[in-house]
Structure 1
């Protein structure tokens, strides 16, 4: 990376994605919440988790879900000069569902979301690393 400090901006207060990004970025740069003190600003434009039903039985019971993580971001200087234009990363996973195993399926859902989140963090890290001030 060609910079030493980065600010995270636009994330929800308790964003798991922001937490993981903060940990990953801390290995290569100083992470701050104050954009004025940073060399670059990673701004979250969208940070969402989505779930939709993709298959159900004739009786209306859910059989398959699709999980999605959507992250749209940009990288700027504190003055607003764009280093990376807005970019969107969307990952999805299909998951079978069974009401009798609801607790296990909830754990599986959480694991799938975490895996997608880690993949997004890795992709963001590669893009941010390639950015030049």
Structure 2
């Protein structure tokens, strides 16, 4: 008869979840998911053309306000610089196929093109394209967990995009206002004091004739 105490104990499913949690945590740390420092921007106000509900625009606005020296204005009037969004796209591309011809790995792309101009419309930063990408494996038996992983990867790329935008904004140097050139005042030369006229002595009177 087998000793029941020698039989292996069933493994709790809660323990099976920990490797997955640790794997996602390690992946996020490797992707740079941590607190970053605020940027030091050379301008005092900025207007951005993101949609009001854009997650990227909301996170970028929060980081700029956290810098403490730059305001984000709701309109272009009065803004020292304007960040114009030219395009913002997300793309999911099949990277590899399994033996059955089904996708087994995807590549996630996040692209943003933007430019920066001053209040006079002068270009401070030419149209710039930032492209981020992450690869993700796919398994139909783990569809829910893979969907959650995809959301986390896009969120991480969004935070990375914000930091890259801030670095480019921090590199912008604003032109200093030119001070009017001052001409030294001309001090009139001192007029020499007039020399008093010397009156020659009068000639002696002629003696009368004898």
Q: Distance in 2 between matches of 1:15 and 1:53?
A: 26
**Structure 1 residues 15, 23: CA separation in 2 closer, same or farther (over 3 Å shift)?**
same
CA distance in 1, matches of 2:153, 2:74: 28
CA distance in 2, matches of 1:68, 1:62: 17
5+ residue gaps, structure 2, are 1-40, 175-210
1:37-73 deviation per Cα after TM superposition (whole angstroms, max 9, x unaligned): 2111111111111111111224332200000110111
In the other structure, the counterpart of 2:21 is: none
Q: What is the total number of aligned residue pairs between the two structures? A: 132
CA distance in 2, matches of 1:98, 1:14: 32
After TM superposition, the score normalised by the length of structure 2 is: 0.60
Distance 2:115 2:78 in 1: 18
Runs of 4 or more consecutive aligned structure 1 residues displaced over 2 Å after TM superposition: 11-14, 57-60
Q: Which has the higher strand share?
A: 1
Which residue number corresponds to residue 61 of structure 1?
102
Q: 2:65 aligns with which of 26, 31, 35?
A: 26
Q: What is the CA-CA distance between 1:78 and the residue it aligns to?
A: 3.0
2:83 equivalent to 1:42 = yes
Other structure's SS at 1:36 match:
coil
Compare CA radii of gyration and give the structure with the larger one.
2
TM-score, normalized by length of structure 1? 0.92
Q: Secondary structure at the match of 1:86?
A: strand
Task: Give the structure 2 partner of residue 113 of structure 1.
Answer: 154
Once the two structures are TM-superposed, the CA of residue 13 in structure 1 deviates from its matched residue by 4.2
Question: For structure 1, which runs of at least 5 residues remain unmatched after alignment?
Answer: none
Whole-Å separation in 2 of the counterparts to 1:128 and 1:55: 37
Aligned to 1:15: 54
Matched, 1:92 2:133: yes
